[in-house]
Structure 1
Amino acid sequence: MQDLAQLEPIARDLPQTKRGHERCVALLESAAELFLEHGYDAVSLDDIVNHAGGSKASIYKYFGNKEGLFKAICDYRRDQFFKDICMPFNPDLLDFRNYLIQTLINFQQHLNQPEKAAFMRLVLEQSQRNPEIARHIHEHGPKEIQMAIAKALETAHNKGLLICANPIFSAQFYFGILRNIEWKVLMGLPVEDSDQENINYISYCVDRFLDGHQKP
């Protein structure tokens, strides 16, 4: 479970006690469960409170309204994504090729989890309906993830491990390796390749990516 400081960018009014922290996280997790089961529009704040306990006053205090709560769920899950998938690159401890391969393998395994895939589809649906939610999710989701890899590419460039004149463009190119798998997941199609086939595919693409970032 996250500590109080880690909830600061997620909740409007940061809980000051362990009990308040637990209430905040319970609302996030209960709301996410209900949204996935019934859909965003079908779930009311009363439904969330009845499921999680507490009162609507807590939702208003911590998140402002239902839309704020949904944004907070996306932020909360993004933080878990970073923790589980997108680790900082330390050139003194990690081989850069292995780092790039493992990051994509972690991402692909994340996509293959049915609950994670369902949440991605929910996010996509709400983004199409609400431009403000779409902007928030893009700025605090895909863009942040791309910036994390761009930072790793910049570090590798400065260490002489590759040539990367535009780390942001290269980061976007890098995540394109999984675009086909990502679209299959979003459309509810099965990813039929075996784990080993996916590893072979990712390894091949990362090698081609690195080939393109060497001196001409």
Structure 2
Amino acid sequence: MGAVHRRTMIAALAAALAAGGCAAPPEGVEGGGALLVLPGPVGGSDEPTEADGYVPVGEGLEVDADVPALTGLDPKLLAAVREAAADALDSGVDVVIVTGGWRSERYQEHLWEEALREHGDEEEARRWVAAPDASSHVHGDAVDIGYTNAADWFSRFGYEYGLCQTYANEMWHYELTVDPGEPCPPPLADASEERGGAPGHKGRGR
């Protein structure tokens, strides 16, 4: 599905939820919830690849996968995600996958340019996608978690591992924001607020 046209994450998710069309859990998995995924890159000869951190649409990655989207993450973040995922599975969550991790600047540029086309101006685009020089994904400081019940588990218990939901409009996006066990700061409304330097946040967008 690498050649499908991308929409912004929120537009795709909203449309899928409205239509009841979020990706189903893998066969044999019960109660996994909807799959939260970033739509695929624009088609073309230079579209992002696995080496850019691209995660196949509708698939996601196991948290122990040995691919750039995961190995490019900050080691402390990756370790926290893997520990949290193991505990989530032990607590009854059926599946924990990563739908987005480290991204190359080239991949992020694709996402940013598509957001500009979709929303028409930088101010609105920044609510959903960051330019490459401002993206926490490019710096290896953010991870996107799916399915919805896994993301919900992370939102409730991620603080025990230092993981916090960064934005209120992105239940899938987590960063290593606090020391393990400390309470998470309230999520920012969206990525455009990151530039305000809110306490407890690193100052980058998605």
TM-score (norm 1): 0.24
TM-score normalised by L of structure 2: 0.25
Larger radius of gyration: 1
Point out the structure with the larger helix share: 1
Greater per-residue strand proportion: 2
